[in-house]
Each structure stands twice: as structure tokens, then as C-alpha cells.
């Protein structure tokens, strides 16, 4: 079901956490909400779920305005970061809990719970006590429990952060396959850039309580809307410079552009530098750091500007050598300079 958040503002203990935030998730979509810790991701989830009340703004699910509904009537389920299984119930009773709240009889709900436990690849775990489950198993029980509620909207709050790295990949695949199967509109909160890019249909970037950009993973990564967004994803260097008479000049770089005059920053990715025998750019090797599968090299232009570039394997040159490069910026991304002030 489609989620629409309009002009939402939330304050906690007198501090503004979210300001005038608008965001949409299409029906059946998996939207990643990405941002550094403390940017208001969890606050946004809790507000959508009705645990926190907004100062102003509206939240709509499908055609219904749910801004003032109590949490238990929203049909919005959070998979909490700290899992929150009920310790006095078995795994099956936990999964059956939302059905029990809806008045489903004991036999029927336990049958349904067993089916859902199969779905999350925990067959026969129904009678197990929560205390006897491992971290990954608990996470999967919680996932089954959230699905049992048949949510109109599923909110995943950093669901993989408590898991070991090897379990994390399994869980991601499980969540993706369940999403393909149930097509529940899902918001995945994470601070892991790779996870957000790899799992979602669209990525919403949240900084300091405001949405910075919301687009497909490719667009968000390759065409960051703001300098902050570019900085957050990394993998690019921002080269400050100036456009005058249709030419951008910054450091050693000069490019013909069609921009009004003014100060700009050019987003330079390391793959744009191509080693070439007779390339126009002569860069001196400042530092070589061998890292096993790759070697990180710092290059300096004549004016002292530094660039990073990684080469596969080891490199045949040393610190002090001068190499020649071509620069292929393709469709370049510029940020007006005022913005970063």
C-alpha cells in the first residue's frame, strides 16, 4: 500500500528531530532510508508506526489518513533493531501473537505460525523457548511474527546490524525473497550504504531530519543531488573551481561546460582518471599503499591537488614517479559552491 508522508515535523524533549519532511513509498516498493546515525531515521519509523506523535504534518497509507490512529490500528509493523521477542512465549506463540490480537482461535493461529516459521526456514522451531534461540534465529522469528500481522506497511529498523557478517547476507536474501513473495510495501532503515544500494528499489537519503535526495540506487550514487550526498557516498573527490566563459577551471582540470558563471565543485570519480601514454595530465605518485587485492595510490597534480586511485594487484611504479593520465568525465556532476556554505 502506498505510503505518503507530508510536511512531517517531530520534536523530542523540545529538540527538533524531523523538519517538514515529505516522502513517499510506492505500493509494493522496497524503499531504503539511508543516513548517518542520529539523523532521525528511527524517529521517522516510530512516528509512522504511531509510537511517537508528530508536531505537524500528515501520514497517509493508501487512501487513509493514519496520522492520529493509535499504533495497534495502523497495520504498520516495525521489525525492531533489538528484536523484542516476548521471552515468556515460545517461538510459535510469538509468531501467533498478532493473530491472537485479531481474535484468531488458538489452533488456527498456531498452524499459521508453523507455516510462517517454515517460510523463514525455521521448521519445527515452534515449541522452542526464545531464550534457547541464536541471534539469527531470533531475528527470523521476529520476521515471521511481523509477517503474521499481515502489515500494510513493514518497517525494518537496521534489522541486520546485530548479526554477524556471514549471517547478515543470508538474512538480506531472506528478506528480499519474502518481499518478492508478499510484495508488502517496505521501508528499510540502514546506515550501510552497500545494503541500501543493493537491496532497495529506491533510496531516500536522510540528513539532519531532512530528505536530501530520493531516487533509484544508481541515480543516488552516480548523480548525487547535493555535495553532502556525494560526500556521504564517498568514492568521489570534489574539486573546487570556477566557470568563466563556458570553461570550468579547478586545480589542474579545465573542461568546457554549459553552466552560468560562478563557483562550482566538480564531482570527480577515480575511474575517470585513465592511465594514457600521452595523456594531458602529469600526476606525481605521492604515496603507494599495497592492500592485498589492490593498491591505493595518492596522486598529486602540479598545483598540489591530491587525487586517490586504486589499482588492482600491485603496481609497477613507486613514490616519486610521474604518470600521465587522460580525464574522461562523461556527463559531469557539478555543485554550485554557495550550497556548501
Partner 1 sequence: MRKKRTAYLLLLPLMGMTALALLACGSVLTQSLGVVPAFGLTEPTLDYYREALADPAFFSALGVSLRVALLSALAAAVLGTALCAALVRVGPGPMGLLIRLPILVPHAVTALFAILLLSQTGLLARWAWALGVISEPGEFPQLLFTPGYGGTILAYLWKEIPFVAYFTLALMAGVSCTLGEAAENLGASPLRAFLTVTLPLSLPAISQAFLIIFLFAFGGYELPLLLGATLPKALPVYAHLAYMHPDLRQRPAAMALYGLILLLSAAMATLYGLLTRHLLRRVEGGQ
CA-wise closest residue to 97 among 59, 52, 150: 150
Per the listing, cell 511474527 goes with 145
- The answer to the question of residue 41 lying near partner 1 (CB under 8 A) is no
CB of 198 to partner 1, least distance (A): 27
CA-wise closest residue to 75 among 102, 94, 95: 102
Window of 81-89, 180-188, 235-243, 290-298 that interacts with partner 1 by CB under 8 A: 81-89
Complex with partner 1: residue 48 or 204, whichever CB lies closer = 48
β-pairing, 30-34 vs 202-207, is parallel
Are the CB atoms for 21 and 43 separated by under 8 Å? no
Q: Which of residues 92-151 bind partner 1 (CB under 8 A)?
A: 97-98, 100-102, 129-131, 145-146, 149
Q: Which of 12, 56, 65, 84 binds partner 1 (CB under 8 A)?
A: 84
Kindly determine how many residues on this chain lie close enough to bind partner 1 according to the rule CB under 8 A: 29
Complex with partner 1: residue 102 or 271, whichever CB lies closer = 102
- The answer to the question of residue 189 lying near partner 1 (CB under 8 A) is no
Complex with partner 1: residue 34 or 96, whichever CB lies closer = 96
Q: Which of 1, 21, 39, 49 binds partner 1 (CB under 8 A)?
A: 49
CB of 185 to partner 1, least distance (A): 16
- The answer to the question of residue 87 lying near partner 1 (CB under 8 A) is yes
Query: Where is 41: in which H helix or E strand?
Result: helix 41-49
Complex with partner 1: residue 101 or 302, whichever CB lies closer = 101
Complex with partner 1: residue 73 or 291, whichever CB lies closer = 73
CB atoms within 10 A of CB 98: 21
Three-class secondary structure of residue 257 per DSSP: coil
29 strand-pairing partners:
none
Complex with partner 1: residue 104 or 225, whichever CB lies closer = 104
β-pairing, 333-336 vs 262-269, is antiparallel
- The answer to the question of residue 76 lying near partner 1 (CB under 8 A) is yes
- The answer to the question of residue 306 lying near partner 1 (CB under 8 A) is no
Burial pattern 147-180, b for ≥16 Cβ within 10 A else e, equals bbbebbbbbbbbbbeebeeebbebbbebbeebbe
Separation of alpha carbons 200 and 203, rounded Å: 7
Per the listing, cell 504498520 goes with 76
Binding mask 211-250 for partner 1 (x = CB under 8 A): ----------------------------------------
Per the listing, cell 556471514 goes with 166
Q: Which of 65, 86, 105, 235 binds partner 1 (CB under 8 A)?
A: 86
Separation of alpha carbons 5 and 51, rounded Å: 16
Are the CB atoms for 199 and 168 separated by under 8 Å? no
- The answer to the question of residue 82 lying near partner 1 (CB under 8 A) is yes
Phi and psi, residue 134, nearest 5°:
-80, 170
Complex with partner 1: residue 84 or 115, whichever CB lies closer = 84
Separation of alpha carbons 296 and 310, rounded Å: 4
- The answer to the question of residue 299 lying near partner 1 (CB under 8 A) is no
Residues in touch with partner 1 (CB under 8 A): 49, 51, 70-73, 75-78, 80, 82, 84-89, 97-98, 100-102, 129-131, 145-146, 149
Amino acid at each position: 500500500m502506498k505510503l505518503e508522508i507530508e510536511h512531517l515535523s517531530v520534536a523530542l524533549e523540545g529538540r527538533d528531530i524531523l523538519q517538514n519532511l515529505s516522502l513517499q513509498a510506492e505500493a509494493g516498493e522496497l524503499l531504503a532510508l539511508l543516513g548517518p546515525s542520529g539523523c532521525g531515521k528511527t524517529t521517522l519509523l516510530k512516528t509512522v508506526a504511531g509510537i511517537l506523535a508528530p508536531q505537524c504534518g500528515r501520514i497517509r497509507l493508501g487512501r487513509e489518513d493514519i496520522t492520529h490512529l493509535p499504533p495497534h490500528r495502523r497495520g504498520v509493523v516495525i521489525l525492531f533493531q533489538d528484536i523484542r521477542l516476548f521471552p515468556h512465549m515460545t517461538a510459535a506463540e510469538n509468531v501467533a501473537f498478532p493473530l491472537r490480537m485479531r481474535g484468531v482461535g488458538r489452533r488456527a493461529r498456531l498452524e499459521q505460525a508453523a507455516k510462517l516459521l517454515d517460510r523463514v526456514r525455521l521448521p519445527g522451531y515452534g515449541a522452542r523457548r526464545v531464550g534457547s534461540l541464536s541471534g539469527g534465529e531470533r531475528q527470523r522469528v521476529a520476521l515471521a511474527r511481523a509477517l503474521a500481522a499481515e502489515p500494510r506497511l513493514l518497517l525494518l529498523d537496521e534489522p541486520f546490524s546485530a548479526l554477524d557478517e556471514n549471517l547478515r547476507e543470508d538474512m538480506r536474501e531472506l528478506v528480499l525473497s519474502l518481499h518478492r513473495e508478499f510484495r508488502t510495501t517496505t521501508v528499510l532503515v540502514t546506515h550501510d550504504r552497500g545494503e541500501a544500494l543493493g537491496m532497495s528499489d529506491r533510496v531516500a537519503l536522510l540528513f539532519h531530519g531532512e530528505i536530501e535526495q530520493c531516487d533509484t540506487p544508481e541515480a543516488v550514487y552516480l548523480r548525487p543531488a547535493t555535495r553532502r550526498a556525494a560526500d556521504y557516498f564517498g568514492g568521489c573527490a570534489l574539486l573546487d573551481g570556477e566557470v568563466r566563459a563556458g570553461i570550468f577551471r579547478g586545480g589542474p582540470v579545465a573542461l568546457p561546460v554549459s553552466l552560468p558563471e560562478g563557483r562550482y565543485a566538480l564531482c570527480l570519480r577515480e575511474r575517470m582518471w585513465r592511465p594514457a601514454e600521452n595523456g594531458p595530465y602529469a600526476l606525481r605518485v605521492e604515496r603507494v599503499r599495497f592492500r592485498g587485492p589492490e593498491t591505493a595510490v595518492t596522486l598529486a597534480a602540479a598545483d598540489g591537488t591530491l587525487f586517490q586511485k586504486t589499482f588492482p594487484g600491485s603496481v609497477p611504479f613507486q613514490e616519486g614517479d610521474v604518470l600521465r593520465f587522460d580525464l574522461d568525465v562523461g556527463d559531469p556532476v557539478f555543485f554550485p559552491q554557495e550550497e556548501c556554505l
